[in-house]
């Protein structure tokens, strides 16, 4: 008498898990999508009968899922995704991946990743966290010393890392002192949330505002430009060429940009949206009009960039009145 075996393939993601169940003949007998929560997963597993064998690919959720399902099924196999050549062939989506995993499990073509004994996940994750933090700390320390050596400043020992000597070592870089030699630094610092560090970085990156003919060029350079896609723009109506009235499709922000510039303007916008002053009022007015918070912050970042370009080009003083009128 043949055994009733169910081969279960899971395509695991942060929000949901796509599940495919095959029988011994390879037929898909059930498919489901469950929330990535313990009670939802166990409810699905408990609804199946027979000998259950489960597989999914090694990843962020693998250890948690292994400890969750191990006591409830006959076999758990966490597989190595680099060895699953079948998943790379043909069409790819979550359902297809789950079916292929179940089929590979049925035919014994998966290579397992060792997950150790049940109950050691906490210790294993703590050890992994310690290793990651140690590596990141060493990387940051090496980069910090490399910056000073690039300026020809000797920085042996550990004093450069000590909080009590931080002001002394920051002074050796002379970033702020050097930026004060330029008139533009004072102009940029008039803008709320553009402090001395951001002003100095803008000076170093932009060098001159006349590189940008308009604010839109600066937005694109800073990764704040909106990309659109349009197709089939024209049509013939009764023999006459007309432009189609369908709206352009927005595809997000431009990807080819200066990442440091985007960091400066987004950081200034985030700080302004949480503080007080005319920029905060402008942000709140956008929210009151029904704009989503992330889009309002983007609009605020674009506004700060436009103000910075105008002040620098025309050597004017910052005036909050136009912002108040736009927010009204």
CATH of the domain at 83: 3.30.420.40
Last residue of a domain, one of 48, 78, 106: 106
Quick one: 62 and 143 in the same domain? no
Quick one: 204 and 281 in the same domain? yes
Quick one: 154 and 261 in the same domain? no
Quick one: 273 and 307 in the same domain? yes
pTM here?
A: 0.54
pLDDT at 87: 65
Residues near 194 by beta carbon (within 8 Å), at least 6 away in sequence: 188, 202, 268, 304, 308
Quick one: 206 and 320 in the same domain? yes
Last residue of a domain, one of 106, 141, 157: 106
Last residue of a domain, one of 49, 72, 106: 106
pLDDT at 328: 47
Quick one: 50 and 160 in the same domain? no
Look at residue 244 and tell me if it is in a domain: no
Report the number of distinct structural domains present in the chain.
3
CA 312 vs CA 191, 208, 284: distances in Å:
11, 8, 26
Angle made by CA atoms 299, 304, 310, in degrees to the nearest 5: 125
Look at residue 233 and tell me if it is in a domain: no
Q: Mean pLDDT, the chain, as a whole number?
A: 87
* Domain span including residue 26: 5-106
Look at residue 237 and tell me if it is in a domain: no
Quick one: 295 and 214 in the same domain? yes
Quick one: 200 and 263 in the same domain? yes
Quick one: 194 and 308 in the same domain? yes
Look at residue 236 and tell me if it is in a domain: no
Look at residue 282 and tell me if it is in a domain: yes
Tens digit of each residue's pLDDT, the chain (328 residues): 467 899 999 999 999 999 999 999 999 999 999 999 999 999 999 999 999 999 999 988 998 899 899 999 999 999 988 877 666 776 788 999 999 999 999 999 898 887 766 567 778 788 888 999 999 999 999 998 888 888 778 888 888 888 888 888 877 777 778 888 899 999 999 999 898 889 999 999 999 999 999 999 999 999 998 876 666 666 777 778 777 776 666 667 888 889 999 999 999 999 999 988 899 999 999 999 999 999 999 999 999 999 999 999 999 888 888 776 665 4
Quick one: 147 and 209 in the same domain? no
- Listed as own residue / partner, the contacts of 202-211 with beta carbons closer than 8 Å and 24 or more positions apart are 202/261, 202/264, 202/308, 203/179, 204/179, 205/258, 205/260, 205/261, 205/264, 206/261, 206/312, 209/184, 209/309, 209/312, 209/313, 210/313
Look at residue 250 and tell me if it is in a domain: no
Quick one: 159 and 194 in the same domain? no
pLDDT at 116: 67
Look at residue 43 and tell me if it is in a domain: yes
Quick one: 160 and 270 in the same domain? no
Neighbours of 118 (CB within 10 A): 11
pLDDT at 1: 45
């Amino acid at each position: 008498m043949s055994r009733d075996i169910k081969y279960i393939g899971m395509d695991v993601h942060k929000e949901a898990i796509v599940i495919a169940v095959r029988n011994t003949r390879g037929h898909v007998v059930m498919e489901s999508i469950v929330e990535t929560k313990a009670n939802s997963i166990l409810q699905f597993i408990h609804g199946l009968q027979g000998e259950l064998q489960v597989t999914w690919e090694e990843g962020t959720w693998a250890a948690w899922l292994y400890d969750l399902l191990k006591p409830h099924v006959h076999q758990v196999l966490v597989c190595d995704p680099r060895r699953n050549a079948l998943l790379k062939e043909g069409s790819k989506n979550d359902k297809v991946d789950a079916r292929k995993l179940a089929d590979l499990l049925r035919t014994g073509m998966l290579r397992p990743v060792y997950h150790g004994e049940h109950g050691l996940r906490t210790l294993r994750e703590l050890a992994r966290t310690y290793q990651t933090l140690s590596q990141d700390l060493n990387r940051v320390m090496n980069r910090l010393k490399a910056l000073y050596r690039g300026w020809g400043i000797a920085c042996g020992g550990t004093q450069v890392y000590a909080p009590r000597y931080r002001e002394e070592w920051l002074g050796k870089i002379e970033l702020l002192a050097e930026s004060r030699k330029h008139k533009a630094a004072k102009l940029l610092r008039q803008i709320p949330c553009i402090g001395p560090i951001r002003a100095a970085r803008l000076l170093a990156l932009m060098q001159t505002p006349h590189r940008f003919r308009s604010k839109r060029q600066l937005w694109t350079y800073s990764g704040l430009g909106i990309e659109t896609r349009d197709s089939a723009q024209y049509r013939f109506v009764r023999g006459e060429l007309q432009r189609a009235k369908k709206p352009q499709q927005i595809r997000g922000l431009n990807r080819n940009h200066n990442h440091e510039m985007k960091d400066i303007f987004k950081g200034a916008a985030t700080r302004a949206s949480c503080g007080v002053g005319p920029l905060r009022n402008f942000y709140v007015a956008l929210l009151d009009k029904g704009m989503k918070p992330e889009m309002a912050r983007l609009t605020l970042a674009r506004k700060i960039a436009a103000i910075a370009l105008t002040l620098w080009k025309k050597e004017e003083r910052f005036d909050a009145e136009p912002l108040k009128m736009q927010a009204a």
